[in-house]
Each structure stands twice: as structure tokens, then as C-alpha cells.
């Protein structure tokens, strides 16, 4: 396996990175016949990139449903505790063991060694036997990995939010379509029959014209390393520089990585892009603006931890959007029991983790039974695998993921400006051109600088 510094020292252009190789002379994959006689023609081979909290959860469901052969896993962490649940031991080696144990049990064999474990995701993209990759990595890596995967001829399942910025989302859309790839955004509510029932009912006009939509996102972590936090030694087996990737090079702290990365703007967008990627996607679905966006947006309130804290995303917020059809969307921090509430001319309907309710019980006739086990991750991944085979667009194609992520990015831009501008700033948005029409400063926040060592352009 390559050393921690090999990523920075080796060629990084999108074309040369796939030609150069990472370890010449080392076999990159095991024969597909190890996975069964039908694997070359009837079953897809996939790789999981990112085997932390979410990645291991998806991997377990994927294996349980026997959706395809998992021939490789990849993570910059060899294996450690310290994820969302302290007792969980995750990383590439635990993931490899999970896959190999699963395959051995299927075969009534004492052991199985067909799953590779890589630290460098480029090793995955070089493999001729990998048909698709499931990217379950921090948000700041989504665009770079997706573009490289598309140009390597791989189909992609990319966790939500699709992107870190509006501009990186544009690059993802272009790469997927230019290379004729299938991409499924990990917006699992799109595969939830209850969500479909609600959103399609609203979208059809059955409740009359939509007047207002209210969505909820969870509260951000209100605690964490405050001003004056101290750097920590990088754990053995964790390639921190590769974890940072395109983000700025900064000292290591355990709370910067693993699950809590989402509370720092360098890597994510707080709960706005975490839970908001689900709830605001439902809003777009019901309003029938899956691939569009608002015409204006303003922050009504925002609270932050003290300046200099490691967590710098808003702890609480409330923002308002207006759409071209006159619909108003209000998104606010709060319990996610109600993800989206649609207020229409002839009544209201809402759905979320606490169930589905309406102003008139008749509106709920035909409501499907609740999904078991929360979000329908398995159905969503199964839809992706089916579409890789049929070459059709999946339930949450790249353009839908891009539009939903954009709404969250616009919200974070106006939220981040709130301490300086205060309430009252209304940013005007051109959804077709994907730029603000009344603020050059806000337009500069549509993209982020990329660390030179990880600039793949």
C-alpha cells in the first residue's frame, strides 16, 4: 500500500491520475469468478468508498439485500473507534472483514478473501472490474470523486448533499452527463412510498395551489472545541492529509473529522445540508421544482458559537425563500418530527419522522404503510443498481440532487452573511444562470478555493 505522502507527489490531473497508476506491478483486483459463476455477466461489481458511520450502515444493508458483489472498500482510516456511536469500530479493515465474512457465510466456507481494502480511492477507479462506486465520504470530497469516477467510466451513488458548493455541483452534473453515467443522489426519501404519496398528491394539485411550505432541520451541535482549541496528534492508521483533500491544510482535531465534520463550513454546511438536504428536497418535490430553485432568499435569524470555535456552522437558524410561482418556503431549526408541511388552498398535509397528518383525514386515504427501519436506504440503493443495468435515470438523478443541494448552499450563504448584514438582506437568485443578481460578494461564495495538491482540473 502506498505511503501517506504518495497522493500528493503523484500525478493528479483527471486523465493522468487514471493512467499513471499508484503501485505499478501490484495486482489491483482478484478474479470475478471468486464471487460466483454468474458474476461476470449477471451481477454488478461495486466498491464502497467511505466506510464510516453512514458508509458502514449502507454497506450492511447492501450486503443484506444481496444487491451486487462488493469487490472493494476504501477509507483513509484503517480502523478506529470515535464515530457517532463511541462503541462502533469502523474504517476500511472492519469493512473488508464485514464483506469477507458475509461472503464466507453465503458459501458455507470457513473464510473468504475476495474483498480488497484501499486507502487511496484512485486504486478503486483503476480497477476494470468495478462497475459502480458508492461514495459515502464527507461533503468536501463529493465533487472531486464524482468527476473522477465519471471520467473513469464508473456509475455513482453519491450521498447527500450532492455537493459542497454550487460550482462544484455544476461540475458534477456536467461530468455525469458528458460521460453518460448513472448517478443516484443519496436522498433516500425519494424512495419512501409515504413521501411519494404526499409529494405527488401536492404536486398534482389535488389540494389546490400550494401557498406555503414549512420545512425543519435539526439543531446543530451547540457544544464543541471553543476558541483556543488545541491541535491533537493524528491517530495511527489515519491519513489526515488525504482526509482534508481539497480543503485547507489545518491542524488535526478529532472533532474535525468522522461524524462531526458536518459542523465546519470547510467540509459541510451544518444541519442545513445534513437534514435540510432531505426536508428541502421534499419541498422541491411537492412544489414541482425538482431541478430549479428560488428567486429570492433571506435569513430571518441565525445563531453561532463564539468566533474561533471549531464548529462554525449556525447552531439555530430560520430562512425564507420565494419561488417564481409565488410559493413561500420557510425553513427553520427544530425537531425533525415534521420534515415538510405543505399549506395549500384546500388544506394542509405534512410528513416526517412522527408520521403523516392532514387537515382532512380523507386526504390520507391510500397512504402506504410506514417503512420499517427509518429511511428506505435499501430501496434507494436497489433502484440505483437497477438503473445501472437499464441505463435509465434513477429516482434522484444528478440534476435533482444538484437543485436540492443548491437551495441549502444559498441558505448557508445568506446565513453566513447574517452577522454582518442583519435581517433585511434579500438575495435575488437567477436559477437558470445559477448566480445572484444583486450581490457580487455573495456570488464569490458560490465556490471555494481548492488546495493545490488536490486540484484535479
- Give pLDDT tens digits for 139-197: 999 999 999 999 999 999 999 999 999 999 999 999 999 999 999 999 999 999 999 99
User: Cα–Cα distance between 201 and 344 in angstroms, integer?
Assistant: 11
- Please, what is the Cα angle at 209 between 294 and 298, to 5 degrees? 25
Tell me the pLDDT band of 374, cut-offs 50, 70 and 90: low
The DSSP code for 19 is H
Q: Is the pLDDT of residue 313 over 90?
A: yes
Of 135, 158, 189, the position where a domain reaches its end is 189
User: Cα–Cα distance between 146 and 186 in angstroms, integer?
Assistant: 13
Of 189, 219, 242, the position where a domain reaches its end is 189
- φ/ψ (deg, to 5) at 306: -55, 145
User: Cα–Cα distance between 237 and 255 in angstroms, integer?
Assistant: 17
User: Cα–Cα distance between 442 and 457 in angstroms, integer?
Assistant: 24
Identify whether residues 165 and 202 lie together within a single domain.
Answer: no
Q: Is 392 domain-assigned?
A: no
Tell me the pLDDT band of 22, cut-offs 50, 70 and 90: very low
Q: Is 389 domain-assigned?
A: no
The residue range of the domain holding 197 is 192-368+397-454
Identify whether residues 171 and 255 lie together within a single domain.
Answer: no
Identify whether residues 210 and 126 lie together within a single domain.
Answer: no
pTM attached to this predicted model: 0.91
Identify whether residues 232 and 158 lie together within a single domain.
Answer: no
The string of pLDDT tens digits covering residues 256-300 is 999 999 999 999 999 999 999 999 999 999 999 999 999 999 999
Question: What three-state secondary structure class fits 330?
Answer: strand
As for how many domains the chain has, the answer is 2
Identify whether residues 182 and 251 lie together within a single domain.
Answer: no
Amino acid at each position: 500500500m502506498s505511503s501517506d505522502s504518495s497522493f500528493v507527489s503523484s500525478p493528479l490531473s483527471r486523465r493522468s491520475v487514471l493512467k499513471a497508476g499508484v503501485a505499478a506491478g501490484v495486482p489491483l483486483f482478484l478474479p470475478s469468478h471468486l464471487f460466483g459463476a454468474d458474476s461476470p455477466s449477471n451481477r454488478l461489481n461495486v466498491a464502497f468508498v467511505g466506510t464510516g458511520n453512514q458508509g458502514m450502515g449502507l454497506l450492511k444493508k447492501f450486503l443484506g439485500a444481496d444487491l451486487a458483489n462488493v469487490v472493494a472498500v476504501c477509507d483513509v482510516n484503517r480502523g478506529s473507534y470515535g464515530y457517532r456511536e463511541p462503541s462502533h469500530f469502523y474504517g476500511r479493515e472492519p469493512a473488508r472483514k464485514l464483506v469477507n465474512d458475509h461472503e464466507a457465510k453465503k458459501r458455507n466456507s470457513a473464510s473468504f478473501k475476495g474483498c480488497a481494502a484501499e486507502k487511496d480511492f484512485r486504486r478503486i477507479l483503476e480497477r476494470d472490474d468495478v462497475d459502480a462506486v458508492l461514495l459515502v465520504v464527507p461533503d468536501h470530497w463529493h465533487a472531486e470523486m464524482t468527476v473522477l469516477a465519471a471520467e473513469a467510466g464508473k456509475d455513482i451513488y453519491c450521498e447527500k448533499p450532492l455537493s459542497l458548493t454550487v460550482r462544484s455541483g455544476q461540475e458534477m452534473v456536467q461530468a455525469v452527463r458528458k460521460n453518460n453515467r448513472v448517478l443516484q443522489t443519496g436522498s433516500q426519501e425519494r424512495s419512501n412510498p409515504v413521501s411519494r404519496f404526499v409529494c405527488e398528491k401536492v404536486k398534482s394539485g389535488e389540494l389546490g395551489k400550494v401557498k406555503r411550505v414549512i420545512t425543519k432541520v435539526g439543531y446543530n451541535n451547540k457544544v464543541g472545541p471553543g476558541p483556543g482549541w488545541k491541535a491533537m496528534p493524528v491517530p495511527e492508521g489515519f491519513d489526515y492529509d488525504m482526509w482534508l483533500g481539497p480543503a485547507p491544510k489545518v491542524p488535526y482535531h478529532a472533532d474535525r473529522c468522522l461524524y462531526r465534520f458536518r459542523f465546519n463550513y470547510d467540509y459541510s454546511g451544518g444541519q442545513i445540508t445534513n437534514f435540510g438536504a432531505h426536508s428541502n428536497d421534499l419541498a422541491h418535490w411537492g412544489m414541482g421544482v425538482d431541478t430549479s430553485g428560488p428567486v429570492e432568499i433571506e435569513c430571518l435569524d441565525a445563531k453561532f458559537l463564539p468566533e474561533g470555535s471549531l464548529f462554525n456552522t449556525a447552531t439555530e437558524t430560520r430562512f425564507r425563500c420565494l419561488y417564481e410561482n409565488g410559493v413561500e418556503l420557510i425553513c427553520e431549526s427544530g425537531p425533525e418530527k415534521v420534515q415538510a408541511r405543505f399549506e395549500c388552498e384546500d388544506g394542509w398535509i405534512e410528513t416526517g419522522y412522527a408520521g403523516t397528518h392532514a387537515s382532512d383525514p380523507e386526504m390520507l386515504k391510500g397512504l402506504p404503510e410506514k417503512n420499517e427501519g427509518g429511511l428506505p436506504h435499501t430501496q434507494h440503493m436497489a433502484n440505483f443498481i437497477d438503473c445501472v443495468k437499464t441505463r435509465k435515470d434513477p429516482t434522484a438523478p444528478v440534476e435533482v440532487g444538484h437543485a436540492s443541494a443548491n437551495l441549502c448552499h444559498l441558505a448557508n450563504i445568506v446565513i453566513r452573511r447574517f452577522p454582518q448584514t442583519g435581517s433585511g438582506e434579500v438575495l435575488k437568485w437567477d436559477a437558470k444562470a445559477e448566480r445572484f443578481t444583486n450581490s457580487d460578494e455573495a456570488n464569490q461564495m458560490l465556490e471555494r478555493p481548492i488546495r493545490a495538491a488536490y486540484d484535479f482540473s
